[in-house]
Structure 1
């Protein structure tokens, strides 16, 4: 029996400084949103992000969502990176099960062309439904002219039909965007012709916070010695004591090997201290710990 890891990641790890001032249906916090560049400069490389779907907020403490993975990331060379299934056990595996498959150039171009019709553009009004504590879905697309558009929609899948706070036009806009997200999800799942393979990152972000004794009668977890760079690294937010260090090269092999023997609640020991660690593979467009200080 398997299930997706997103729920565990949201419950176990964090996201600060949400763009609370953004208008409904837009994402004011997305760097470069709506800014064009010459077509000759696009794409700069296969690692360039062209589409992404991610979720944030909702009834989850903000200090528990740092490092949450996007549900779908599509790159200029056709790679689609998403989370695969994991065993339905608790505690879950320490490392997320990221999978990658490759779309054809025609498939990539088609989904980018359909993005505007789906409402991923300035001015689309998705409204604010009568739903409390629901997550926000953000969809970002970069077209072949180098223009980035991003929309953020509260309760995209949680709002009820005939919500009194939504107009017919807003409900229609939501349904259209939801259908586009579903299509992206189906592409990420593959059509059976192209098998997905494990995503092997070039570097790994290690998000560490002080380990505390678990309550509620949970079974004790065996300690493991930390084999990587010094913890906790640089604090993303000193108020909540979550540090971040990037592991690569020879250290990456040692850390990955150790993580395969651990779970999400394993106490890691380093320099006389215990830490609870979340392992966050860096995606091709991500550069380091700074990724987790902003609006994601």
Structure 2
């Protein structure tokens, strides 16, 4: 549980999750499907149940960034809003990401789920495939529905591979995504406090010395569990070590003043580490495996 202003967030709040009942037929024109939101079913999500999320995956980025990518917005059953806070524009940046947590009300959570599913976050919605390469996909979750859209913000409005209905669907979803992304600074939302994970994933790979002219960081001794940990993917050579318990504050203290480019020494080897605080529903390194 995350400690927020001295209060331990515990019991989950009731939430009406809207369940989509109809799928768009494969030969049905995009946008012609029934746009009505089905009736709600009353459920009570647990505090750590994911309810709303905006995240990106894929695209032309280094493998370690894709594996360690943090969702832009995550909202949970107890009303916690977890997001990426402001980051420094200085290179190299800090080793630890700036993740913050705030609270919204149960009524706001219910309304956002409703708005999301009205905006097209329903299984089977057709967003098309634009004529653009190496762009990331945006995955949006609202209640029990989730959609993944290629190049949601990168595709031009007049992309010739998109139909008018697909463009309209993208416009509606983009507006909802922007609404979620603006929540951390919205009026009435509690001020953010740092997110305190119970598990920190250390994504370790063999360290490569910087090229001539690039800034170098001094090496630091790794104070946590043995690196590189369990391999997330043998093909990309990235391991994952779970930092928990008594190791967690020690590693966080060591990483506090480190840079993203800091070399870490462990067991006679030197590693580059991407730190990925695990979110409430992520129970270990296994949550980071697969396509993200």
Residue 246 (structure 1) shift? 0.7
Residue 39 (structure 1) shift? 4.1
User: Which of 213, 227, 230 is the equivalent residue of 2:226?
Assistant: 230
TM-align CA RMSD: 1.6
In 2, Cα distance between equivalents of 1:292 and 1:269: 24
> Per the alignment, in what secondary structure is the counterpart of residue 123 of structure 2?
coil
Q: Give CA-to-partner distance per residue, 1:214-240, whole Å, 9 cap, x none.
A: 114213210101111111111111222
Determine the structure 2 residue equivalent to 1:7. Answer: none
Greater RCO structure (CA 8 Å; 6+ sep)? 1
Q: Give CA-to-partner distance per residue, 1:237-257, whole Å, 9 cap, x none.
A: 122221111111110000000
Determine the structure 1 residue equivalent to 2:235. Answer: 239
In 1, Cα distance between equivalents of 2:70 and 2:135: 18
Alignment of 1:138-157 (within 5 A): 138-142=139-143, 148-157=144-153
Alignment of 1:218 onto 2:214:
yes
In 1, Cα distance between equivalents of 2:113 and 2:240: 34
Alignment of 1:85-234 (within 5 A): 85-142=86-143, 148-191=144-187, 193-234=189-230
Residue 126 (structure 1) shift? 0.6
Unaligned runs of 5+ in 2: 1-25, 27-40
Q: Give CA-to-partner distance per residue, 1:146-178, whole Å, 9 cap, x none.
A: xx2111111111111221111111110000000
Determine the structure 2 residue equivalent to 1:285. Answer: 281
TM-score, length-normalised on structure 2? 0.83
- The farther-off stretch of 105-114 and 236-245 is 236-245
In 2, Cα distance between equivalents of 1:216 and 1:51: 44
Conserved? CA contact 2:92–2:259, under 8 Å: yes
Conserved? CA contact 1:190–1:196, under 8 Å: no
Conserved? CA contact 2:80–2:102, under 8 Å: yes
Unaligned runs of 5+ in 1: 1-22, 24-37, 143-147
Structure 1 runs of 4+ with >4 Å offset? none
Q: For this pair of structures, how many residues does the alignment match?
A: 253
Conserved? CA contact 1:101–1:190, under 8 Å: no
Q: Give CA-to-partner distance per residue, 1:195-219, whole Å, 9 cap, x none.
A: 1111111110111011111114213
> Per the alignment, in what secondary structure is the counterpart of residue 85 of structure 1?
coil
Residue 193 (structure 1) shift? 5.0
> Per the alignment, in what secondary structure is the counterpart of residue 207 of structure 1?
strand
Residue 123 (structure 1) shift? 2.4
Q: Give CA-to-partner distance per residue, 1:40-97, whole Å, 9 cap, x none.
A: 5x31x21110011110112224454111101110001111101001221111000000
Determine the structure 1 residue equivalent to 2:15. Answer: none
- The farther-off stretch of 181-190 and 58-67 is 58-67
Determine the structure 1 residue equivalent to 2:31. Answer: none
Q: Give CA-to-partner distance per residue, 1:8-64, whole Å, 9 cap, x none.
A: xxxxxxxxxxxxxxx9xxxxxxxxxxxxxx845x31x21110011110112224454
